[in-house]
Amino acid sequence: MLQQRAQYGQQKAKEYHEGSYPMSILGFHLGLDPIDTYLGLNRECGFPAKVSSCEQSDQDAAAAALKSAREDGILLDALAVYLLRRLEVMEAIEEEFGKIGVTQNTIDVSAKRTHDAETMGGYGEDGKKRSGHMSSQNGQIVLSEMSEDEINAKVKLVRSDLDWLKASCELIPAAAQVDPPNEIIRFRNEEGGRFFDDLFACDGSNRILISDDFHLRQWGSGLFKTRSAWIQALLFHLEETQQISTEKVVKVTIQLLDAGEESLSVNSHRLQIGAEMLANGELSEDEFQSLCGLIGQPGAGMGSHIKVALETIHGLWSTKSLIPVRQRVTSLLLRKLVRNQGENSRVVVDTIQTLARSREVKDYIECWRIGHFT
C-alpha cells in the first residue's frame, strides 16, 4: 500500500509538473495541505516547485506590483507565511508594507497543522512520547521516528505560526469586487477549492498577492487581473529599499534552492557578494555552488546569463579581497554556464574569452579551456 501510494504521488507530481494548475490542487489529490505539498514535491518526488517563468516581463510586472504595494498592502498565502517566517524577514516586510493581510483559509491551514502536531505520536512503555512515519522511497520501506523533544519543538514552532497569524495579521474577507463566473464559485465551494479565497480577497481589497505558486498567480491574473509577486522578487524589492542586505538575499536564495525551487534569479552583484561571503567563510563551498547553479540553468536565456557571468568575472578579477577565490569561482561560473549547452559550449566560452577585459582573465580562460576540453 505504501508503494502504491508513492507511485500515485509520483504520478500526480509529474502531472503537476507538466500541467498548469495550482499546487493546492495537487495537494488535494494527495490529501496534503499546500505546505506539505511544497515540501514533498522535491524531497519525495524529485520535482521542483514552479515559482516563476524566468521571463523579464514577469519580473518587471512583479517589481511594479511591489512598488504599488507600499500603498495598497500585501496578502500572503499559507505557503508564503510558512516560508517567510522561517526565512526571518517578516519584520522587514511589515516595515515596508504595513500590516500583512491573510485569509481565513490561511489561518485554518495553520490551525490544522497545529492540531496535527499536538496530536501526533503516542506514549511508549517508558512514558515518553514518540512518533513514527513509514514511507516508500526508491522501492524501499523507510521508517522515520521523532523523539519527544523533536515533537515538542515542532508543536512549539507551528503553534507560534498560528499565534502570529492571529496577533499580527489583518484578516481579509474572501470577497471579490464582482462575482466571478458560477463555475468558479462552485469550484471554490467544493472540497479542495479554498485556495480561491486568496484570489477573491486580493481582488476585493486591491492587495498584492505574495505566493510561490506560479500557476495560482497565473489563475489570479487571468480571472481577476490580480497583481502578484513571488518571494524572491519580494526579497529583491526589500534589498532595493534597503530593508535587508544583499548578504541576506544571497542566504535566503540558497535556502529557497535547497527547498527545491526552480527558475530563481541572480545578478552579478549578488554573485560577487556571494564570492566575498565564500572568501570570508560565511558560505560553504556547497552553498556557493548552489547559488552559481542559477547561471546556465535549463531554459535560461543564454544572452543574459553570459552577461551576468562576464560582469561577475570582471568584478572577481578587479577586487583585491577576492584574489584567494577568483580562479576557483571563475572556473565554477564557466562550468555552470556551459553545463547544459552541449555542442554550443565552445561558442559560449569563446564569447566570454573574447569579451573579457583584461589579458590576465583571457589567459586564465585559455588555460581553463585546455583542462576542460573546450
Quick: pLDDT tens for 248-257. Answer: 999 999 999 9
Region for 172 from its dihedrals, namely left if φ exceeds 0, alpha if ψ lies in -120 to 50, beta otherwise: beta
pLDDT at residue number 176: 94
Question: Does the pLDDT of residue 146 top 80, yes or no?
Answer: yes
**Overall average pLDDT of the 12-18 stretch:** 94
Percent of the chain with pLDDT over 70: 99
CATH architecture of 56-233: 3-Layer(aba) Sandwich (3.40)
- Range picked from 54-68, 146-160, 170-184, 199-213 for highest mean pLDDT: 199-213
Average pLDDT over residues 318-342: 94
Distances (CA, A) of 190 to 184, 187, 203, 281: 10, 5, 20, 52
Check if the beta carbon of residue 100 is closer than 8 Å to that of residue 94.
yes
Domain boundaries, the chain: 2-45, 56-233, 266-372
Question: Shortest CA distance to 22 belongs to which of 49, 56, 61?
Answer: 49
Burial 135-156 (b: 16+ CB within 10 A, else e): bbeeeeeeeeebebeebeebbe
Residue 55 pLDDT exceeds 90:
no
φ and ψ at 192, to 5 degrees? 95, 0
The pLDDT of residue 354 is above 80: yes
Compute the average pLDDT of residues 166-179.
95
pLDDT band at 164 (very low <50, low <70, confident <90, very high): very high
The CA distances from residue 62 to 48, 102, 209, 342, in Å, are 21, 19, 10, 33
Mean pLDDT over each residue of the chain, to the nearest integer: 93
Q: Record the cell numbers describing residue 281, joined without a space.
A: 567563510
Higher-pLDDT residue of 198 and 44 is 198
Sign of CA dihedral 244, 249, 251, 255: positive
pLDDT at res. 223: 93
Instruction: Kindly report, residue by residue over 261-291, the tens digit of the pLDDT.
Output: 988 999 999 999 999 999 999 999 999 999 9
- Percentage of residues in the chain with pLDDT exceeding 90? 78
CA-nearest of 184, 180, 201 to 77 is: 201
Least confident among 126-135, 160-169, 359-368: 126-135
Mean local confidence (pLDDT), 296-324: 91
**In which band, very low, low, confident or very high, does the pLDDT at 73 lie, cut at 50, 70 and 90?**
very high
The pLDDT of residue 136 is above 80? no
Which of 125-139, 262-276, 329-343 has the weakest average pLDDT?
125-139
Q: What is the pLDDT of residue 300?
A: 74
Question: Looking at beta carbons, which pairs linking 301-305 to residues 24 or more positions away fall under 8 Å?
Answer: 301/54, 302/341, 302/344, 302/348, 304/56, 305/337
Query: Model pTM?
Result: 0.91
